[in-house]
Amino acid sequence: MRPSVLDPLFASVSTLPGIGPKIAQLLTTFLSTQPGREASVADLLFHAPHGAIDRRHRPGIAYSESGQIVTLDVTIDRHMPGPRGGKAPYRITAFDDTGSISFVFFHPRRDWLEKQFPVGERRIVSGKVEWFSERPQMVHPDYVLAPEEADAMPPLEPVYPLTAGLSPKTLQKAVSAALGKLPALPEWLNGPHKDQNHWPDFDEALRRLHQPEEQQDIDPESPFLQRLAYDELLASQLALALVRANMRQLGGIVRKPSGALQKRVISSLPFALTPGQASAIEDINADLAEPTRMLRLLQGDVGAGKTVVALAALAQVIEAGAQGALMAPTEILARQHFASMSPLCEKVGIRLALLTGKDTTRERRLTQEKLDAGEIDLVVGTHALFQGSVTFKDLGLVVVDEQHRFGVHQRLALSAKGKGVDVLVMTATPIPRTLVLTCFGDMDVSRLTDKPVGRKPITTVSVSLDRLDEIVGRIRSAIAEGQKVYWVCPLVEESEKIDLAAVEDRHRVLEQVLRQKVSLVHGRMSADEKDAAMQAFKSGETRVLVATTVIEVGVDVPDATIIVIEHAERFGLAQLHQLRGRVGRGDKPSSCVLLYKGPLGETAGARLNIMRQTNDGFLIAEEDLKLRGGGEILGTRQSGTPGFRIARPEEHADLMEVARDDAKLILETDPDLKTPRGEALRCLLYLFSRDEAIRLLRAG
C-alpha cells in the first residue's frame, strides 16, 4: 500500500487549478512514467529545468546587449500600429534614462496592447533584446508588468524542456501549483550522511529546483540537485538490491557436477579459450556450485566470444541434470545460435531444440512435450517465447543474449519459470562501470576484455558521401578479390517509409553498378525472406549485403571484411561500434567505411573521430557516455525500466557508488524496511516509481 502521505503527489495533474483536460492530456503524453495513467503531480515536480533566465539583469536600454534577456524599467511613449491589413508589425516605443527601445508585435491584439502598455506610464518589461541598425528592439516581451505587480515575475525563471503545444508559462504555472501540493515527507536519508553533505530536506530541494535563487542552484553539483539525484539513485539501488535479495532468498540449487560435459564442450572447440573466457567460466562454475542463485552479467565486446562461455555454463547445468534456455533478441539471432551450436551439441550429446514464432502449432506442441518430458536439454529461442506459456521439466539456467531489452520486470518474471533458476545475461554493449551499477546493481559481473588471438584489427576511415563513386569502385575491386561487404543504410528515425525507400534505392544502384546480385535485408521483410537473404550472403552466393540496422546485433559471417555505414553521422557511437563488430571476425584484415554527409556537427564529428581512433568497446562506451546522457545508451525507454529523471549518470557517478553501498547496508540492517527509516524509504521507492520492488518484501 502506498503511504497516504504521498496521495497529493500521486493525484492526477488535472486536479491542479488551471489545468484543463487538454493540458492534462499533453502533460500525460509528455511526462507520465506509468503507461496508461494520467501524469501525476509528482511527474510534474520531477520535470527538472535545464536552465534559468535571470530576470534580475537590468542593464538599462542602452547597455543591453543584443541577444540578451534583460528586464527594463521604462516609460511608454508611443503606439505605432502598422497600416491596417498590412504585414508590418505593431510597434510601441518606450524609454528609460539611457535610451529608447521598440517593442514589436506580430498579429497584434490592439485593445490588449493598449491596456498593457498605457502611454505615459511606467512598465517593467522583460524579454530578449536585439539590435538592428543601432536600434534596440524587443519582439514579443515575456513580461509586461505595472511596477506594483513586478513581484509576479520570478527573479530567476526556470526553463524547462517543452513539448509542442505546451507553453513555458503554462508549464510554469502547473509546476507552481504542483509545488503547492508538496507535503513534508519523512526523512529517508541517513542523518549523518545528509548533514555531512549539507543537504537540504527533500521538499526544500525540490522547491529550490523549481524556484532557484541563484543560477548555481540548478547545477548538477548544487546541494539541492545532489540531494535529489541521490534520492533517485538510492531508490533505484534499493529496488535492485531488493530484487537481488529476493532472487537469492528464493534459494538456488547447488550444481556441482564432475565438469566432464563442460570439458568435452571446450575440447571440441577448434580453438583455445582466451584467458577472459576461461576466467568467466570459472566465475560461473563457482556461482553454480553455491546454494544461492546465480545472477551474472557477462560483458564482452562484439566478437569477444561470449557464446562459448554461455555454452560452457549450459553444459555444467545440463550435466547436473537440469535444462537450459538461451534467449536471443531476434529470430535471426536465435536461428543463428541454433545453427552454430548444433554440430557441437550433437558431438557432445546435448539435445538441442529451437523454438520460434514460426513453428507450427504442431511443432510447438511437440517441442513443449519434449521439454516437459526432459527430452530436450537446451532450447534456443527469442525472449518473447519465454515470456509466454513455455514450461520446463526442470529449468536450471537461462542465458539472455543482449540484455538491454531485458529489464528488472523480465528478470522477475523469469523466477516463475523454474525452481532456483540461475541467470546469465550477456551484453555486447560495453556498458561503462557506472551504468552497470545503475541498471545491474543486482548482478555480479564478468568481463571479457581480451579478443581471441589471431584477430586482425579493423581499419576505420571516414569519407564524405561526395566520394561515393570512389568507395563503390573500391568495393568492386574488393569483391573481385573474393571479399564480402556489408552495406548499412541510413537510419531515418521519423519515417520507416523513407528508410525503406533509401535501402531499396541503394540496393538497386549497387546491383546496377556492380553488375551482380546483391542481398537485401530490412525490417519489413518476413523472417523467411530475411533468412534467405542472410543465407545467400553467408554461403557466398552474393558478395554484398545491403541492410538496415537489423544486422546490428550478433550476426556472424566471419569472412565478411568490409562494412560501409552510410550516413554514419546519424548513428550513435554504441551503434556504430556494434555495426563495425560485424567485420573483423575472421583472420583477414577488415575495414569499416563511415560515409558521412557534411558538414558535420560537433558531436557527430567527435563520434566519427573516436571511431577512427579506437576499437576498444569499453573506451568507446565511456566516450559515448560523455557525449550524451546515460538513458540513451541503455535504451531505458525500450526496456520498460523507468529511466532517471533527475540524476545524470555522467554527472553523478560518485553518488551512485555511495547509493549502492547505502542500499546494501539498509537491507542488511532492515531487510523488511520496518524501522522508521525503512518506512520512509518505502515512500522514496514509490516517489521514484520503484515500488514494484516493495512487493518483494515478505511483509508486503
Pairing state between β 156-159 and 51-54? antiparallel
Please tell me whether residue 303 binds ligand ADP under the rule CB under 6 A.
Answer: yes
- Residue 218 DSSP label: G
**Residues with Cβ within 8 Å of residue 56, at least 6 apart in sequence:** 71, 155, 156
Q: Between 172 and 614, name the residue whose CB sits nearer to ligand ADP.
A: 614
Please tell me whether residue 558 binds ligand ADP under the rule CB under 6 A.
Answer: yes
**Residues with Cβ within 8 Å of residue 607, at least 6 apart in sequence:** 569, 571, 572, 573, 576, 627
Q: Other C-beta atoms within 10 Å of 627: how many?
A: 17
Q: Between 106 and 271, name the residue whose CB sits nearer to ligand ADP.
A: 271
Total of residues contacting ligand ADP (CB under 6 A): 18
**Least distance between ligand ADP and beta carbon 568 (Å):** 21
Collapsing DSSP states into helix, strand and coil, what is residue 56?
A: coil
Q: Between 45 and 448, name the residue whose CB sits nearer to ligand ADP.
A: 448
Q: Between 6 and 633, name the residue whose CB sits nearer to ligand ADP.
A: 633
All three cell numbers of 423, joined, read 541467470
**Least distance between Mg ion and beta carbon 300 (Å):** 9
Please tell me whether residue 556 binds ligand ADP under the rule CB under 6 A.
Answer: yes
**Residues with Cβ within 8 Å of residue 83, at least 6 apart in sequence:** none
**Least distance between Mg ion and beta carbon 448 (Å):** 11
Q: Bridge-partner residues for 487, per DSSP? A: 546, 564
DSSP letters of 111-169? Answer: HHHHHHS-TTSEEEEEEEEEEETTEEEEES-SEEE-GGGGGGS-SEEEE----TT--HH
174 is in the binding site of which of Mg ion, ligand ADP, none (Cβ under 5 to 8 A by kind)?
Answer: none
**Residues with Cβ within 8 Å of residue 299, at least 6 apart in sequence:** 426, 427, 430, 431, 436, 445, 446, 447, 448
Q: Residue 231: in which H helix or E strand, if any?
A: helix 223-249
Among 113, 179, 250, 273, binds ligand ADP (CB under 6 A): 273
452 is in the binding site of which of Mg ion, ligand ADP, none (Cβ under 5 to 8 A by kind)?
Answer: ligand ADP
**Least distance between Mg ion and beta carbon 298 (Å):** 10
For the chain, what is the largest distance between any 2 Cα atoms, rounded to a whole number of angstroms?
Answer: 96
Please tell me whether residue 581 binds Mg ion under the rule CB under 5 A.
Answer: no
**Residues with Cβ within 8 Å of residue 294, at least 6 apart in sequence:** 252, 284, 287, 288, 397, 422, 423, 424, 444
Q: Are 533 and 520 in contact (CB under 8 A)?
A: yes
Please tell me whether residue 554 binds Mg ion under the rule CB under 5 A.
Answer: yes
Please give the residues from 145 up to 174 whose contact with ligand ADP meets the rule CB under 6 A. none
Interface with ligand ADP by CB under 6 A: which range of 51-59, 72-80, 379-387, 551-559? 551-559
Question: Cα(117)–Cα(119) distance, rounded to whole angstroms?
Answer: 6
330 is in the binding site of which of Mg ion, ligand ADP, none (Cβ under 5 to 8 A by kind)?
Answer: none
- Per residue, the 3-state secondary structure of 566-629, as one string, reads ECHHHCCHHHHHHHHCCCCCCCCCEEEEEEECCCCCHHHHHHHHHHHHCCCHHHHHHHHHHHCC
Please give the residues from 171 up to 190 whose contact with ligand ADP meets the rule CB under 6 A. none
Q: Which of 18, 13, 4, 2 is nearest to 183 (CA)?
A: 4
Q: Between 554 and 643, name the residue whose CB sits nearer to Mg ion.
A: 554
Which residue of this chain has its Cβ atom nearest to Mg ion in the complex?
Answer: 554
271 is in the binding site of which of Mg ion, ligand ADP, none (Cβ under 5 to 8 A by kind)?
Answer: ligand ADP
**Least distance between ligand ADP and beta carbon 328 (Å):** 10
Question: Cα(612)–Cα(403) distance, rounded to whole angstroms?
Answer: 27
Among 240, 350, 428, 563, binds ligand ADP (CB under 6 A): 428
Please give the residues from 331 up to 360 whose contact with Mg ion meets the rule CB under 5 A. none
**Least distance between ligand ADP and beta carbon 563 (Å):** 15
Q: Between 301 and 566, name the residue whose CB sits nearer to Mg ion.
A: 301
Please tell me whether residue 452 binds ligand ADP under the rule CB under 6 A.
Answer: yes
Total of residues contacting Mg ion (CB under 5 A): 1
Binding track over 283-302 against ligand ADP, x by CB under 6 A:
-----------------x-x
Q: Other C-beta atoms within 10 Å of 281: how many?
A: 23
Collapsing DSSP states into helix, strand and coil, what is residue 223?
A: helix
Counting beta carbons within 10 angstroms of the beta carbon of residue 334, is it exposed (0 to 12), middle (13 to 18) or buried (19 or more)?
A: buried
**Least distance between ligand ADP and beta carbon 453 (Å):** 6
Please tell me whether residue 307 binds ligand ADP under the rule CB under 6 A.
Answer: yes
Among 293, 296, 306, 652, binds ligand ADP (CB under 6 A): 306
Q: Between 324 and 554, name the residue whose CB sits nearer to Mg ion.
A: 554
572 is in the binding site of which of Mg ion, ligand ADP, none (Cβ under 5 to 8 A by kind)?
Answer: none
Q: Between 233 and 302, name the residue whose CB sits nearer to ligand ADP.
A: 302
Q: Are 61 and 100 in contact (CB under 8 A)?
A: yes
Among 127, 212, 305, 642, binds ligand ADP (CB under 6 A): 305
Please tell me whether residue 277 binds ligand ADP under the rule CB under 6 A.
Answer: yes
Among 585, 607, 660, 690, binds ligand ADP (CB under 6 A): 585
Question: Cα(568)–Cα(520) distance, rounded to whole angstroms?
Answer: 19
Please tell me whether residue 330 binds ligand ADP under the rule CB under 6 A.
Answer: no
Question: Cα(561)–Cα(37) distance, rounded to whole angstroms?
Answer: 49
Q: Between 335 and 660, name the residue whose CB sits nearer to ligand ADP.
A: 335
Q: Bridge-partner residues for 422, per DSSP? A: 397
101 is in the binding site of which of Mg ion, ligand ADP, none (Cβ under 5 to 8 A by kind)?
Answer: none
Residues at the site binding ligand ADP, with contacts judged by CB under 6 A = 271, 273-274, 277, 300, 302-308, 428, 452, 554, 556, 558, 585
Residues at the site binding Mg ion, with contacts judged by CB under 5 A = 554
